[in-house]
Structure 1
Amino acid sequence: MARGRSLGLVALLGLAAPLGAPPGAQAQMPASLPDGPKLRIVAVTQPLPTQPQYTRVDVPYLREALTQRSNGRLTVQLGTHAERNLSGNEIVRLVRSGQVDIGAGTLSTLSGDVPILDGIDLSGLTPDIGKARRIAEALLPVANKELERFNTKLVLLYPFPAQVLFCRQPFQSLADMKGRKIRTFGNSLVDLVNTIGGQPISIGFPEVYSALERGVADCAVTGTGSGASAKWPEVTTHISDLPLSWAVAGYMVNLSWWNRLDPQVRGFLEGTFAEMNDKLWALGDAATRDGIDCSIGKAEACKIHPLAAKPMTEVKATEADRALVREAVQSTVLPGFVKRCGARCGEIFNQVVAPIAGVEYRP
């Protein structure tokens, strides 16, 4: 009977879509749009204008290709969080109110408004980016059911490079994190760091460099490429290769605006998002290793991020590290997520995510 109720819940939430099918995958962008009213779209996407996700995907697709392929019918006023003086946690509210038509932000940041979003990228759940993508896309219909209350809809999910540890002192394994002050973000990463014996501290990304330099933080978690770009190798010595999460983010639209669009325009945008989807997941994968290679001074493999002037030491994950993370997910991270989100989220996790991740929530 319990299984029947769970299946009924999943059916109610519209989870009939095949796992792994990217958002808008069925949409084919027309070669051009027929003549019609011009549309100006306001979009705020990445945190910084220097990030590869912005320079290599958002600008070429949203600012340039969309206008060219629509014969000038669609134009996008594109900006970043930094340019709008945003911290990132305002994205749902900005899109909901119609102040922007398209907004993007990391799901762990947005989960304060919509707790189910945190379940898409739980810390430690999977070190494999392919599985991370399948989980994200499988939970997308659930998230959009919740987001209807906020007059918003996710149209695209994507990862940043793997989120890993940068430390200012040597370490050989995660066991060495006991007692260290570690910069974290998001509830599930706090749970993970607590479980492995670290002391989580909250520091905004722009302040992390100086916190590491002064010893306010012993270690910090961020994307491999983000740390390389922010010159963290200048103030840290060792970098882990173990992904603790993927900082999965999403592009969302104002639902009323989206539904009012001319169906041809909406299909045109869906086709654009489908192309961007594949590009962003491929970039997240490539940028993960590139960020490490750039940080350790491997010049011949450093293609995306700046090469560190002071090379770091790469710390390879051991089987003991992986086992420690798996145990933390089972004992702390998953229960913490369900406590914040509600028992219903535990049922959804077991029905949708557990078959992919190989980890089941146990009440």
Structure 2
Amino acid sequence: MKSFPILGKCLTLASSLLLLGHSHLAAAQDKITWTMVSPLTPAIAYMPLYQQLADNITERSQGRLTVNFLSFGQHPFKGPDILTAVRDGVVQIGNSADVYVSSLEPAVAFMGLPFLFDNLEQAKTTFNALKEPYYQPIFADKYQSELLTSFVISGSAIHAKKPLDNSDALKGQKIRVFGKESGDMIRLLGGEPATVAFGELYTALQRGTIDGALTGMDGANAARVYEVVDNNTWWNWSYPVEFTFVNRQALAALPEDLQTIVREEAASINAELQANRDLGTMRLLIKAIEQDGITVTGLSAANLADFRTRTQPILDEWQGKTGALGEQAFAIYHQLHDSAAQ
């Protein structure tokens, strides 16, 4: 029989490595690096909490799982791209909001539909009821992702050079929007929707390219819009949800103790994110009033009712587009709020 001395030596060497260096090889295999991306800029007030999530996972795993967090400008992905990047495993964790991904997945835009809710608590109650039966399956089935964090944001306002609290005031006003639903809303209320990149918002308002902008208080503060406009019309027309999702295959490939660490640290940060936004939005509004001298105007009951009537076609179109999913979302919504009204 022909012998293979070189092969024999290789096998002997491999055996020696397995016996003598097994612990070193195992340790090397345990070192995993993940990437987490966000479309938000570091100027957003709660961005440090996402960095803290990445750091906490890295520290608690003792470096076995390192999570590198990249914000806007440090990666090539836009808001909608992040969901597909996580789905395809290009990155392991992504952060985005329903308003960014609604063009890709209309069903996640439910909380962003216009004038559904009277206040933040009502919106939070609704989202909590929707999260497990509605949102989680959408991300799992279509995008191979599991939700890690998800919180509701209040303070969706229109920032402009004059109060925009009725349809007459909106006529002819060019308003920056961020998605189909918000664009349709402005059009139905008499304004002219305009698309402006967030980084160009300040200049567009300053030069009069647009007359106003839809954004939350965090966005307004980060873009310093109150240096160039001095009115906030407090519509609270939607309560968008911001998500962080993880690729399910990447998560399942981790040892069980690391999976537990990822989920537990995400749950802890999620509670901080929601608490931060509940207080942070109002703090930013107070800051804008006291330091920037802005005028805040609300919607009267009559104008709110008028806005709801005018924007009803958006709800109807969305439900027709989303089919059974849309019916499910509205069924949960009506079950909650019809019973509360009794």
Q: Same fold by TM (over 0.5)?
A: yes
Q: Aligned to 2:247, which of 254, 257, 260?
A: 254
Residues 114 and 181 of structure 1, relative CA distance in 2, 3 Å threshold: same
Partner of 1:326: 308
Partner of 2:229: 236
Following TM superposition, by how much is the alpha carbon of 1:38 offset from its aligned partner in structure 2, in angstroms? Answer: 3.2
Q: Aligned to 1:336, which of 287, 310, 317?
A: 317
Cα distance in 1, alignment partners of residues 144 and 53 from structure 2: 25
Cα distance in 2, alignment partners of residues 274 and 158 from structure 1: 11
Partner of 1:129: 120
Structure 2: gaps (5+ residues): 1-26
Q: Aligned to 2:51, which of 42, 50, 59?
A: 59
The residue identity in structure 1 corresponding to 2:67 is V
Choose 1 or 2 for highest CA Rg.
Answer: 2
Structure 1: gaps (5+ residues): 1-34, 299-306
Following TM superposition, by how much is the alpha carbon of 1:48 offset from its aligned partner in structure 2, in angstroms? Answer: 0.6
Structure 1 segment 148-297 matched on structure 2, within 5 A: 148-171=141-164, 173=166, 175-296=168-289
Residues 164 and 358 of structure 1, relative CA distance in 2, 3 Å threshold: farther
Cα distance in 1, alignment partners of residues 75 and 219 from structure 2: 20
The residue identity in structure 1 corresponding to 2:123 is A
Answer with 218-227 or 254-263: which moved more.
254-263
Q: Does the 8 Å CA contact 1:125/1:357 hold for their aligned counterparts?
A: no
Following TM superposition, by how much is the alpha carbon of 1:275 offset from its aligned partner in structure 2, in angstroms? Answer: 1.1
After TM superposition, the runs of 4+ consecutive aligned structure 1 residues lying more than 4 A away are: 170-175
Q: Aligned to 1:50, which of 20, 43, 48?
A: 43
Structure 1 segment 90-169 matched on structure 2, within 5 A: 90-140=81-131, 141-147=133-139, 148-169=141-162
Partner of 1:23: none
Structure 1 segment 33-44 matched on structure 2, within 5 A: 37-44=30-37
Cα distance in 2, alignment partners of residues 183 and 54 from structure 1: 23
Q: Deviations over 1:322-362 (max 9, x none)?
A: 22333245x22211212332x31332123222233559xxx
The residue identity in structure 1 corresponding to 2:252 is N
| Higher percent of residues as helix | 2
Cα distance in 1, alignment partners of residues 146 and 60 from structure 2: 24
Cα distance in 2, alignment partners of residues 150 and 189 from structure 1: 24
Partner of 2:332: 352
Residues 73 and 213 of structure 1, relative CA distance in 2, 3 Å threshold: same
Root-mean-square deviation (CA, aligned residues, Å) is: 2.3
Cα distance in 1, alignment partners of residues 337 and 329 from structure 2: 10
Q: Deviations over 1:82-120 (max 9, x none)?
A: 221432121112111211110011112112222211113
Following TM superposition, by how much is the alpha carbon of 1:81 offset from its aligned partner in structure 2, in angstroms? Answer: 2.6
SS of equivalent residue, structure 2 residue 67: strand
Following TM superposition, by how much is the alpha carbon of 1:73 offset from its aligned partner in structure 2, in angstroms? Answer: 2.9
SS of equivalent residue, structure 2 residue 66: strand
Q: Which TM-score applies when normalising by structure 1?
A: 0.78
Q: Aligned to 1:312, which of 294, 300, 306?
A: 294
Q: Deviations over 1:175-234 (max 9, x none)?
A: 422331111112222232222222212211112222211222111100112212211011
Following TM superposition, by how much is the alpha carbon of 1:131 offset from its aligned partner in structure 2, in angstroms? Answer: 2.4
Cα distance in 1, alignment partners of residues 321 and 79 from structure 2: 21
Q: Deviations over 1:156-184 (max 9, x none)?
A: 21234521010123445454223311111
The residue identity in structure 2 corresponding to 1:135 is T
Identity %: 24
SS of equivalent residue, structure 1 residue 89: helix
Q: Does the 8 Å CA contact 2:232/2:297 hold for their aligned counterparts?
A: yes
Cα distance in 1, alignment partners of residues 240 and 189 from structure 2: 20
Partner of 1:83: 74
Q: Does the 8 Å CA contact 2:44/2:218 hold for their aligned counterparts?
A: no
Residues 85 and 157 of structure 1, relative CA distance in 2, 3 Å threshold: same
SS of equivalent residue, structure 1 residue 90: helix
Cα distance in 2, alignment partners of residues 82 and 324 from structure 1: 41
